[in-house]
Structure 1
Amino acid sequence: MTYNFAEHPARIVRAAEMPDDTPAIPAVIVGAGACGLTAAIRLRDAGIDCLLLERDSIPSGSTALSSGFIPAAETRLQRELGIDDSQTRFAEDVTEKTHGQAAPHLVQAYTRGVTGAIDTFERLGIKLEILDGFLYPGHRARRMHTTPERTGAALMASLERTATAAGADVLVESVVRELWLDEDDRVLGVGYASPDGTIAYVACDVLILACNGFGGNAAMVHALLPAMRDATFAGHTGNDGSAIAWGRALNARTADLGGYQGHGSWITPQGALMTWAVMMEGGVQINARGERFQNENNGYSEAATGVLAQPGSLAWNVFDEPVLTLARTFPDYVEAEKAGALRTAGDVPALAALIGCSVETLQRTLDGIAAGRTDAFGRTFKRSLQAPYYAVKVTGALFHTQGGLDIDAECHVLREDGSPFPNLLAAGGAARGVSGNDVWGYLSGNGLLSAVGGGWVAGATAAAHIQK
């Protein structure tokens, strides 16, 4: 049959069984981003067949647009490097960043699950290393795991290659339009559309929603994230809120819809992410008046709203030679510099002319940056900045949302009364994360913690269900 997308949005179909001659597979996963691919790797490691339905022509999702850093504790890599860390300490850091708002059952499940995922990735041939040289805000140990390329695209390529080599099947350009359930809320299967509008069906024992958040749905952003109404959306356009729409149609519970990852360092006009390592190692953000306006070490997510509140919704990342050397180890920044993002000023008057502010104001701002000094925002500096100065113009951006379907510790989707659906699971962008209900709850790496840790847990739950 053909499907008119404009006339018939994603919908729930109640039936006793799937259409005749529908092929069946034990596990179907909606979305082949980092979450879906991790779940598939877990399932195939247990010898269970699975099918990933991916809307894009190449699996990418939010992960491909990120730096690709996965936080995890007690991994083989950490032990090999002698890094003093624990899953307990990691869970404490996640909880502390949200001031206790993060769902405790998910914090525990994900900080345990991500370790199993990382160690399995390595065992299956994915080359990983731990980011060295600095700590992201809120982390007390070096625990960011990355591919040598240090890009989300490289991570995605490695995950897809590993999942398919293990036997997982991926169908691209396949948009799920129908969820089929019986009267007891047991998932029977899905209907998915090809680019020509043709609908095909597949039955399954377990369905995992690993599809998306809602950052690309302007109406939902306006309603649920008012601080981001006019912000640049730097995430994946496929984040259209489908999982939440299905959940509402099923009377499923949602949670933490006010949580999201912003970023206060979106390079403009080039349109690229600038690593927050620049801030952690001595850089500052200065507005058009020549003033600093926040503690840059609190985190890049909440920095987005700080930048957006400045004149023109703009700021300048200002740093010096040692920080520039560090920035150039990040591929995203290197590409932005090639595109003309970096400006150089030999002295304070030249920097003031670049920013468009008074020399006197800028000089007072820079004089406030000194080794051992704690400023009015609560930031303590390790050293002052030295000429020549470097500057990159940035704005605040929305990357991805952190709220979604409410789930239990095994990633079962929950009904409004708190009871679980029998065989419907969710994780990653489709489900609530561990960042609480506001922008400041996002700890660096929480997106991939939820995607990889959640994908691992969902895959294990699906495997256990099918093996019964």
Structure 2
Amino acid sequence: MTVIAFDEVQHPFEVRIPLVIIGAGACGLVAALAAKELGIELVVLERDNTPRGSTFMSSGFIPAANTRFQTAAGVVDSPGLMVDDIQHKNHNEADPSIVQVLADQSARVIEWLADQHKIPFELVQGFLYPGHSQMRMHSTPRRTGQELMSTLLNAAAEAGVDILTNAHVTALYVDAQSCIQGVSYQQPDGQVETIGCDALLLACNGYGGNKALVDKYLPQMNKALYYGHEGNQGDAVIWGEQLGASLMDLTAFQGHGSLADPPQTLISWAVMMQGGVQVNTDTERFADENQGYSEAAAKVLAQPTGYVFNIYDERIHQTLLAFEDYQNALTTKSVKSFASRAELATGLGLDDTKLEQMFALMTQSSEAAEPDALGRTFVPEQQLVAPFYAIKVTGALFHTQGGLEIDTAGRVLSATGDVMPNLFAAGGAARGVSGSNDTGYLSGNGLLHAVVLGAIAGECAAKKVLS
């Protein structure tokens, strides 16, 4: 990935398109939809044969406050509550102006996508994800990132968005005033093409697939299974360094402590939020499972074997059946069922006496309405009862949360704090709202930034072109 000084004689562009967007994940597609509505010509450059990105591998949940979907379900929420939840989770480490605009604009963007582009959003009900004070997760019916990507690609096709696949952008051309003049991209056969542009929007996610950068910024996760898109090679970070852009929170990431392996199937943290627990091979719980799935990743990996068991019951099993990922886990026989606690212990190779003590302590916490030694308070209606279910899971790195520092319009800032002339970023390419590590990740932060700030950046980049 290189930045090349622009010389019109040496680098004449074969074609010129007002707005170029790099990356056709949720961020790039939403940005393109927003920009297209303002009537400008644009192209989305995607390195893969089929656009997928990290969105494809996610649960596809997008938090939004005060939507009509919430109102219809009787959920009372506000941008202010959402801001408080995000900032509480990240210990006030995120840029408050970015957090505010994400919360303020979240309902508008979700409803715009639903109304104008037929994205079939619905409110996820029945449980709260860690850190959220209200039910505000919006998803498509199958509750998968694969379905979300499919609906966004259909919307892009309907809107006439040009997506050029197999187009791996390898260089940016910049003039002496730090203004992006164009890009070059390589096709699978090695042919290199160039495109000139008036504005460039980076929607190419983070660096989770770049081992050297992971070793440098996330040494605690350098041996973790990477469950993100292989194309997340840190292009935006590498280009940003060369351009003199400000880079923030590069040590932040989203992990997940509940990946069935095999067969690498994401198991929803709804298991824990409804009363399930994680137990290691020494028959011990090792953390408050309600703190969050991101910070759970490193804790799971730190256990004696690097994997643990999610243990839950029939009530939770029935809820999970609404998740396609869970259905996939059932198909691959990752889910084991047991008629009694004794069978659970035998089947998983656990100590039944220690398992009995663990259940007793959970009951004690529930009856006293007090936290246990790990800080978790169990509630009576969520007590686990036979028959039991279990899934062997490990911790994984999903995607990074640091990147280019931006303002509320998605404009990239230089290391000196100045707005760069025509460079925009959103989603995983930009600094997120999860603070500086893994504990600040609030469920949905990644897609919140990708979708809501993607729309904002797309609109602002289009206005830049039109100005």
Shorter chain as denominator, the TM-score bin is: over 0.9
- Deviation digits for residues 387-441 of structure 1 (CA, Å, limit 9, x no counterpart): 1211100111000000011112211111111111100011111111000011000
Q: Which of the residues 8, 14, 17 maps onto 2:8?
A: 17
Structure 2 residue aligned with 1:330? 323
Q: Which of the residues 302, 306, 309 maps onto 2:302?
A: 309
Q: In the alignment, residue 157 of structure 1 is paired with which amino acid?
A: S
Structure 2: 5+ residue runs without aligned partners? none
SS of aligned partner of 2:362: coil
Comparing 453-462 and 104-113, the one that deviates more: 104-113
Structure 2 residue aligned with 1:160? 153
- Cα 1:216/1:20, change in 2 over 3 Å: closer
Cα distance in 1 between the residues matched to 2:70 and 2:341: 43
- Deviation digits for residues 170-217 of structure 1 (CA, Å, limit 9, x no counterpart): 000100011011110111111111111111111111100000211111
SS of aligned partner of 1:202: strand
Cα distance in 2 between the residues matched to 1:403 and 1:38: 20
Q: In the alignment, residue 434 of structure 2 is paired with which amino acid?
A: S
Q: Which of the residues 94, 102, 109 maps onto 2:101?
A: 109
Task: Give yes or no for the alignment of 1:376 onto 2:388.
Answer: no
Cα distance in 1 between the residues matched to 2:393 and 2:59: 17
Comparing 12-21 and 308-317, the one that deviates more: 12-21
Structure-to-structure mapping, 1:51-450, within 5 angstroms: 51-124=43-116, 125-370=118-363, 371=366, 372-383=369-380, 384-450=383-449
Cα distance in 1 between the residues matched to 2:393 and 2:108: 37
Comparing 14-23 and 344-353, the one that deviates more: 14-23
TM-score calculated relative to the size of structure 1? 0.96
Structure 2 residue aligned with 1:454? 453
Contact kept? 1:49, 1:167, Cα under 8 Å: no
- Deviation digits for residues 256-313 of structure 1 (CA, Å, limit 9, x no counterpart): 0111100010102221100000110010001111111111011000111111111111
Q: In the alignment, residue 214 of structure 1 is paired with which amino acid?
A: Y
Comparing 370-379 and 37-46, the one that deviates more: 370-379
Contact kept? 2:21, 2:44, Cα under 8 Å: yes
Q: In the alignment, residue 455 of structure 2 is paired with which amino acid?
A: W
- The Cα of 1:72 is off from its aligned counterpart by 0.6
- The Cα of 1:164 is off from its aligned counterpart by 2.4
Contact kept? 1:316, 1:394, Cα under 8 Å: yes
Contact kept? 1:215, 1:401, Cα under 8 Å: yes
- The Cα of 1:365 is off from its aligned counterpart by 0.7
TM-score calculated relative to the size of structure 2? 0.96
Cα distance in 1 between the residues matched to 2:12 and 2:299: 56
- Aligned residue pairs, count: 459
Cα distance in 1 between the residues matched to 2:17 and 2:339: 64
Q: In the alignment, residue 82 of structure 2 is paired with which amino acid?
A: F
Structure 2 residue aligned with 1:4? none
SS of aligned partner of 2:198: strand
Cα distance in 1 between the residues matched to 2:161 and 2:237: 26
Q: In the alignment, residue 290 of structure 1 is paired with which amino acid?
A: T
Contact kept? 1:217, 1:240, Cα under 8 Å: yes
- The Cα of 1:20 is off from its aligned counterpart by 3.7
* CA RMSD, 1 decimal: 1.3
- The Cα of 1:80 is off from its aligned counterpart by 3.1
Contact kept? 2:30, 2:455, Cα under 8 Å: yes
Q: In the alignment, residue 2 of structure 2 is paired with which amino acid?
A: R
Q: In the alignment, residue 283 of structure 1 is paired with which amino acid?
A: G
Structure 1: 5+ residue runs without aligned partners? 1-9
Cα distance in 2 between the residues matched to 1:21 and 1:111: 40
- Cα 1:21/1:459, change in 2 over 3 Å: closer
Contact kept? 2:13, 2:196, Cα under 8 Å: no
Contact kept? 1:294, 1:377, Cα under 8 Å: yes
Q: In the alignment, residue 17 of structure 1 is paired with which amino acid?
A: E
Structure 2 residue aligned with 1:5? none
Cα distance in 2 between the residues matched to 1:53 and 1:21: 16
Cα distance in 1 between the residues matched to 2:260 and 2:211: 22
Cα distance in 1 between the residues matched to 2:258 and 2:239: 33
Cα distance in 2 between the residues matched to 1:20 and 1:213: 30
Cα distance in 2 between the residues matched to 1:348 and 1:162: 49
Q: In the alignment, residue 24 of structure 1 is paired with which amino acid?
A: R
Q: In the alignment, residue 88 of structure 2 is paired with which amino acid?
A: E
- The Cα of 1:345 is off from its aligned counterpart by 2.1
- The Cα of 1:355 is off from its aligned counterpart by 2.7
SS of aligned partner of 2:392: strand
- The Cα of 1:16 is off from its aligned counterpart by 4.0
Contact kept? 1:176, 1:193, Cα under 8 Å: yes
- Deviation digits for residues 103-133 of structure 1 (CA, Å, limit 9, x no counterpart): 1121112222332221111112221100011
- Deviation digits for residues 317-342 of structure 1 (CA, Å, limit 9, x no counterpart): 00111011011110001101110111
- Deviation digits for residues 207-236 of structure 1 (CA, Å, limit 9, x no counterpart): 000002111111111111111111111111
